[in-house]
Amino acid sequence: MSNELFERHKALLDLALAATATRGAFNAWPDNPADYNDVLAAEGRQAFANYCDSYFYLDQPGVGERIGRETSPYGFELGIQYPKTNLASIMSVAQRAGEAWSKVELDTRAGVLLEILHQLNTRSFELAQATMHTTGLPFDLAFTSGGPHAQERGLEALALTYNEMKSIPAESLWERGEGAQAVRIKKTFKVVGRGISLTIGCSTQPNWSAYPGMFASLMAGNALLVKPHAHAVLPLAITVGVMRHVLKDAGFDADLVMLVVDDEVRAITQSIATRPEIKIIDYTGNPDFAAWLLDSAQGKVVHCATAAVNPVVVDGTADLPGLLKHLVHSVARAGGRTCLSPRVIFTASAGVQTPAGGVTTEEFDERLTQAFQRFTNDATAACALMGALPRHDFDARIDGAAMFGEVLVESQPLTDPMHPDGYFRSPLVVRVRPDHADSYMHEWFGPIVFLVECETIADALTRAAALTREKGAIVASLYSLDAGVCAAAEEAFGSTGATLCLNFTGEAYPGSSAAFSDFHLSGMNPSGNSTLTDSAFVAGRFRVVQTKTLL
Amino acid sequence: MSNELFERHKALLDLALAATATRGAFNAWPDNPADYNDVLAAEGRQAFANYCDSYFYLDQPGVGERIGRETSPYGFELGIQYPKTNLASIMSVAQRAGEAWSKVELDTRAGVLLEILHQLNTRSFELAQATMHTTGLPFDLAFTSGGPHAQERGLEALALTYNEMKSIPAESLWERGEGAQAVRIKKTFKVVGRGISLTIGCSTQPNWSAYPGMFASLMAGNALLVKPHAHAVLPLAITVGVMRHVLKDAGFDADLVMLVVDDEVRAITQSIATRPEIKIIDYTGNPDFAAWLLDSAQGKVVHCATAAVNPVVVDGTADLPGLLKHLVHSVARAGGRTCLSPRVIFTASAGVQTPAGGVTTEEFDERLTQAFQRFTNDATAACALMGALPRHDFDARIDGAAMFGEVLVESQPLTDPMHPDGYFRSPLVVRVRPDHADSYMHEWFGPIVFLVECETIADALTRAAALTREKGAIVASLYSLDAGVCAAAEEAFGSTGATLCLNFTGEAYPGSSAAFSDFHLSGMNPSGNSTLTDSAFVAGRFRVVQTKTLL
């Protein structure tokens, strides 16, 4: 059974490995819902409806009480009750399952994990609904982020881990000297997991953020505990359910992967994270908790992805209307709730250069304002791009940001006829002075962007790079027709570790991070301490033990 | 010049890379002093004599005062005065040098580092003298540990880092869609260093322990500060001198590598380690300081190698005299001052099985005692194998260990006619009850071994594995003719991460860790948090930054 799974999926693994080496474009699965069988969309909606107002089935040990208070930002309670897991009882179970799993042959493990990804892919519509109604993301983004793009990041991490482990030979013969002096030693090398790995999920991209660490840790031979954000449990609960199902089907201990659910009142993350059995932690979320984790980790491997105050620097463009539209879309996309959303737009007092001559900053600001207003005027399209917001989180934040400068574009409540009970707000644009750094050097998560006019473009680059270095950014964007400015930006952002996107317009978004191609995070600034997609991310998840026999 | 260096040494790099992949036997340089040119030995002695009672030349910035109080365990003051470096002035200098070095092409960097290794190798006799007269190691071991074996571990780390960095493509083309919808993005990937790397040296194997981290960090594009142990500065000072010389010769900033010397009174390690510019720390030394480093590191990469209480389990042997001689040599070698020295010998009450029948534990203990006594009786040979000890460190420790049980073999002061002023002591053997775990579950660094008789061999394995798990061990040794016991040991030690050596006698020592072949440390028990020789050790020393240009 198990080797059969590996044979079945081996070609995909090979393609994934080739893609991680060349880092060109590769899609393991279609990311357009239209490319899937028609019936899947309806089945996904039905599956989601069945989850609501029910007990979520998960045959984990130590289940007594139930827990769960998720609310869809589209305006209803999910009413899903998850098993509330007793930590004391699952730790030893996870440990044992991990020890057994660590002894399973690499190809067999890979086969099981590839089958899990395959089965997750067939449930992408269900995962899309789950993601949409926990995060508030619009359907299309919930589909990619909860489905194929997450699965691809999982496959990428699996492939990288597999590759690292395979680079360790199973055995070697060590020979030295001749005749009576000859020494011959047979060495065997085993790659083993480290124990239990903990994934702490986030509320905005629960699957996409979690899958890399989950699949890397499992491939490396660890047991896995998944602790979703209390507001976005369902996508990871479904994932854990699929994992347990496939493991069991393939003859392995399903308790290798367990879900741990908490809520604000009974928060459990700190208790689990400090347990000695936990050897690896993957966390996506706020910087304060990441700092606590790093401080408290004491010898654990901790990978964190946190706040990103991504800058955009506008120097010049060959297509001002295209640029304006693109900026509005970048800010509005997913309601500004991705780790790649732009947060601050820097310009220079000389204005914006175009082939037809300079545009003053006043004119640029005015035209940008108009572009945002046009966008907001089509409320249905705006809601479809932005998604719904969890009201209690975003209301105060948007209104708070508005107090930090001059409001150029007000954030208005919007109504989406498709989701009359959802909470929608249009983007807020605030102009601040460059020396009011406290206002904009901060991640205002949501549909909020700051406009900062600097003296010169060099000054703008300096400030944007300082923002990245001090507060963290994953991506920086530059619009310029001047090769010297482009080179200066490459230099400035290169040293901060933010990915620089040059003159992105049309369908190319700085907010897209493609599996197998983009190194997500550099680990060089406060946005995170490692890249989700390189050998440093996976190599520490397993260990090598050796036995030497004198022959 | 620089590419010429790479071309000159490329074949060696290729051989090293091939060796790390297959992990068989490979020697980059001869490790027998007799295989070197005769004049080198005399030149090495002369060079060492010239260092003594002098100022050590190093043209680093910020040098004012001088510092240094090294004493040869062979009985004289070295009288070498090193530059005492002003931290405030070197940090920014190192930072700048690192930034420039990080931009140098990979092959060029590799060429310079390979040339450094080559030049270090030509100075192996000088490094041997420096190592011998700081650590007290006997000449042959000082030669290998200060010279070729250290150089090979450096080459191994360099090759692994080079390989990891080369696996990142320089650029890729990302394409999606067709016609007007087509998006084409050119991506460039740069691998860059993280900043300043700090190596904290140890007093017993200063070069061997330090070179892996030093060469990995430099290859990865970092600046390097080297803080030797106050008792063993010279081997690393010479190393830093060679590095600076080659860098300068090749046209690079010599301040990429700087030496920082302190002493007990003016200890500086904690001040440097907590500087924010330091991004990577490699430490070999005591577990308490390692724990402090891990606690204080806050986001730095910290690789530690600490105490190892290596167990030996004796169940049976086909060659009892050979086994006894081997055990004595293992304990005595280097005066028991390597991280691979055996610390505790476990037996079972059923005694030791041989093809001729069982040997009672009483008889085994008696014969082992006799073997130690025979060894000690030839004082010259004993001193030549053990080396000299720093008196103030080892006197109290050996006498203290003797109070923890029944002394089977007393440690006697020895006299070496070759080094009449040196301090030498024969090995101490102490028998303790298995339930007096506090006595033997502790690293008694030096020529000290505990004998523990357990009820059964299974009990012995359980206790030895527990020792490894709780207190740390790098290597475990088993002597047994029983395949079942061997399998049980493989299982027991496999889960602790100690390298298991089966039936090592003759010239095969568990205390040998061969570059390119043995994974030194597993990172699975308290003896250290990482392997010095795998991708997890090198991959976190550099980062990937990307620029994306819309085509």
Convert the pLDDT of each residue in A497-506 to its tens digit.
999 999 999 8
Instruction: Assess whether pLDDT exceeds 60 at residue A539.
Output: yes
- The closest CB to that of A549, out of B172, B502, B531, belongs to B502
**Quick check: B174 contacting A, CB < 8 Å?**
yes
DSSP letters spanning B137-193: --HHHHHHHHTHHHHHHHHHHHHHHHHHHHTS-SEEEEEES-GGG-EEEEEEEEEEE
Strands B342-348 and B310-314: parallel
CATH number assigned to the domain comprising residue B468: 3.40.309.10
Poorest-pLDDT segment among A149-153, A179-183, A247-251, A267-271: A179-183
* Chain B residues with CB-CB distance to A99 below 8 A: 495
What was the pLDDT predicted at B301? 94
Of the candidates B424, B341, B429, B343, the one whose C-alpha atom is nearest the C-alpha of residue B384 is B424
**Quick check: A296 contacting B, CB < 8 Å?**
no
Cα-Cα-Cα-Cα dihedral sign, residues A240, A244, A245, A247:
positive
Banded pLDDT at A2 (limits 50, 70, 90): low
A60-66 long-range Cβ contacts below 8 angstroms, 24+ apart: A60/A85, A60/A90, A60/A244, A60/A255, A60/A258, A60/A259, A61/A89, A61/A90, A61/A93, A61/A255, A62/A86, A62/A88, A62/A89, A62/A90, A62/A93
**Quick check: B183 contacting A, CB < 8 Å?**
yes
Closest residue in A to B182 (Cα) is: A507
Cα(A236)–Cα(A227) distance, integer angstroms:
8
From the CA of B42, how many Å to the nearest CA of chain A? 27
Residue ending a domain, among B279, B306, B333, is: B306
What was the pLDDT predicted at B322? 95
Task: Mark whether B296 and B339 lie in a shared domain.
Answer: no
Average pLDDT over residues A199-227: 98
Cα(B349)–Cα(B314) distance, integer angstroms:
11
Task: Please tell me the total number of residues recorded for chain B in this structure.
Answer: 551
Task: Mark whether B321 and B417 lie in a shared domain.
Answer: yes
**Quick check: A503 contacting B, CB < 8 Å?**
yes
**Quick check: B539 contacting A, CB < 8 Å?**
yes
From the CA of A194, how many Å to the nearest CA of chain B? 7
Banded pLDDT at B457 (limits 50, 70, 90): very high
* Chain A residues with CB-CB distance to B544 below 8 A: 519, 522, 531, 534
Closest residue in A to B536 (Cα) is: A539
CB-based contact B235:B177 (threshold 8 Å): no
CB-based contact A177:A183 (threshold 8 Å): yes
Cα(A262)–Cα(A501) distance, integer angstroms:
39
Task: Mark whether A270 and A135 lie in a shared domain.
Answer: yes
Banded pLDDT at B299 (limits 50, 70, 90): confident
Interface of B with A in 471-490 (CB under 8 A): 490
SS (H, E, C) B75-109: CEECCCEEEEECHHHHHHHHHHHHHHHHCCCHHHH
Quick check: is A41 in a domain? Answer: no
**Quick check: B176 contacting A, CB < 8 Å?**
yes
Poorest-pLDDT segment among A152-156, A437-441, A546-550: A437-441
A306: left (phi over 0), alpha (psi -120 to 50) or beta: beta
Judged by DSSP in three states, A530 sits in coil
Quick check: is B537 in a domain? Answer: no
| % of chain A beyond a pLDDT of 70 | 100
What was the pLDDT predicted at A87? 86
- B175, A24: Cβ pair inside 8 Å? yes
Residue ending a domain, among B306, B328, B357, is: B306
What was the pLDDT predicted at A102? 96
- B24, A181: Cβ pair inside 8 Å? no
| % of chain B beyond a pLDDT of 90 | 91
From the CA of A454, how many Å to the nearest CA of chain B? 24
Of the candidates A465, A45, A399, A543, the one whose C-alpha atom is nearest the C-alpha of residue B531 is A543
**Quick check: A287 contacting B, CB < 8 Å?**
no
Average pLDDT over residues A510-539: 93
DSSP letters spanning B305-364: E----EEEEE-B-S-HHHHHHHHHHHHHGGGG-STT-EEEEEEETT-EEETTEEE-HHHH
- The closest CB to that of A175, out of B23, B25, B547, belongs to B25
What pLDDT, in 10s, does the model give residues B318-373?
999 999 999 999 999 999 999 999 999 999 999 999 999 999 999 999 999 999 99
- B547, A490: Cβ pair inside 8 Å? yes
CB-based contact A13:B161 (threshold 8 Å): no
What was the pLDDT predicted at A497? 95
From the CA of A408, how many Å to the nearest CA of chain B? 29
Average pLDDT over residues B462-485: 97
Average pLDDT over residues A57-86: 92
Q: Which residue has the higher pLDDT, B33 or B86?
A: B33
Quick check: is A37 in a domain? Answer: no
Strands A82-85 and A63-67: antiparallel
**Quick check: B175 contacting A, CB < 8 Å?**
yes
- B501, A548: Cβ pair inside 8 Å? yes
Interface of A with B in 186-205 (CB under 8 A): 187, 189-190, 192, 194
Cα-Cα-Cα-Cα dihedral sign, residues B509, B510, B511, B513:
positive
What was the pLDDT predicted at B32? 95
Residue among B186, B191, B534, B551 with most chain A CBs within 10 A, to mutate: B534
Residue ending a domain, among B291, B306, B321, is: B306
- B544, A529: Cβ pair inside 8 Å? no
Q: Could you tell me which residues come within 8 angstroms of residue A273 by beta carbon, excluding any fewer than 6 positions away?
A: A198, A200, A281, A293, A296, A297
- B25, A505: Cβ pair inside 8 Å? no
From the CA of A165, how many Å to the nearest CA of chain B? 10
Strands B183-193 and A171-176: unpaired
What pLDDT, in 10s, does the model give residues A379-425?
999 999 999 999 888 999 999 999 999 999 999 999 999 999 999 99
What was the pLDDT predicted at B507? 86
Quick check: is B63 in a domain? Answer: yes
Cα(A168)–Cα(A170) distance, integer angstroms:
6
Task: Mark whether B326 and B406 lie in a shared domain.
Answer: yes
Banded pLDDT at B103 (limits 50, 70, 90): very high
CATH number assigned to the domain comprising residue A84: 3.40.605.10
**Quick check: B543 contacting A, CB < 8 Å?**
yes
From the CA of A151, how many Å to the nearest CA of chain B? 19
What pLDDT, in 10s, does the model give residues B477-532?
999 999 999 999 999 999 999 999 999 998 888 888 999 999 999 999 999 998 98
From the CA of A544, how many Å to the nearest CA of chain B? 6
Task: Mark whether B229 and B323 lie in a shared domain.
Answer: no
Interface of A with B in 99-158 (CB under 8 A): 99
- Amino acid identity of residue B507, one-letter, is E
Domain that includes residue B213, residue range: 2-306
From the CA of B504, how many Å to the nearest CA of chain A? 6
Task: Mark whether B142 and B30 lie in a shared domain.
Answer: yes
Question: In this structure, what token pair is assigned to residue A131?
Answer: 């993601």
A361-368 long-range Cβ contacts below 8 angstroms, 24+ apart: A361/A453, A364/A314, A365/A408, A365/A431, A365/A451, A367/A320, A367/A324, A368/A324, A368/A327, A368/A328, A368/A408, A368/A429, A368/A451
**Quick check: B96 contacting A, CB < 8 Å?**
no
Which burial class, exposed, middle or buried, applies to B382 when counting CB atoms under 10 A from its CB (0-12, 13-18, 19+)? buried
CB atoms within 10 A of CB A245: 14
- The closest CB to that of A547, out of B177, B502, B545, belongs to B502
Quick check: is A99 in a domain? Answer: yes
* Chain A residues with CB-CB distance to B168 below 8 A: 534
What was the pLDDT predicted at B131? 98
What was the pLDDT predicted at B2? 56
What was the pLDDT predicted at A352? 97
* Chain A residues with CB-CB distance to B505 below 8 A: 550
Task: Mark whether B257 and B341 lie in a shared domain.
Answer: no
**Quick check: A170 contacting B, CB < 8 Å?**
no
Task: Mark whether B281 and B408 lie in a shared domain.
Answer: no
**Quick check: A497 contacting B, CB < 8 Å?**
yes
- The closest CB to that of B23, out of A172, A177, A183, belongs to A172
Instruction: Assess whether pLDDT exceeds 90 at residue A218.
Output: yes
Judged by DSSP in three states, A490 sits in helix
Quick check: is A515 in a domain? Answer: no
What was the pLDDT predicted at A384? 96
Q: Could you tell me which residues come within 8 angstroms of residue B392 by beta carbon, excluding any fewer than 6 positions away?
A: none
Quick check: is A42 in a domain? Answer: no
Task: Mark whether A316 and A290 lie in a shared domain.
Answer: no
- B494, A547: Cβ pair inside 8 Å? yes
Total number of domains in chain A: 2
What was the pLDDT predicted at B369? 96
- B494, A543: Cβ pair inside 8 Å? no
Q: What is the residue-averaged pLDDT of chain B?
A: 95
Quick check: is A80 in a domain? Answer: yes
Task: Mark whether B302 and B321 lie in a shared domain.
Answer: no
SS (H, E, C) A204-256: CCHHHHHHHHHHHHHHCCCEEEEECCCCCCHHHHHHHHHHHHHHHHCCCCHHH
What was the pLDDT predicted at A181? 85
**Quick check: A32 contacting B, CB < 8 Å?**
no
What was the pLDDT predicted at B535? 92
What pLDDT, in 10s, does the model give residues A153-191?
999 999 999 999 999 999 999 999 988 889 999 999 999
What was the pLDDT predicted at A452? 97
**Alpha helix segments (H runs only) across B387-436:** 391-402
- B500, A550: Cβ pair inside 8 Å? no
**Quick check: B519 contacting A, CB < 8 Å?**
yes
Q: Give the CA radius of gyration of chain A.
A: 25
Task: Mark whether B25 and B125 lie in a shared domain.
Answer: yes
Task: Please tell me the total number of residues recorded for chain A in this structure.
Answer: 551
Interface of B with A in 54-93 (CB under 8 A): none
Residue among A548, A549, A550, A551 with most chain B CBs within 10 A, to mutate: A548
From the CA of A295, how many Å to the nearest CA of chain B? 6
Instruction: Assess whether pLDDT exceeds 80 at residue A1.
Output: no
A304: left (phi over 0), alpha (psi -120 to 50) or beta: beta
What was the pLDDT predicted at B111? 98
* Chain A residues with CB-CB distance to B547 below 8 A: 490, 493-494, 499-502
Task: Mark whether A285 and A373 lie in a shared domain.
Answer: no
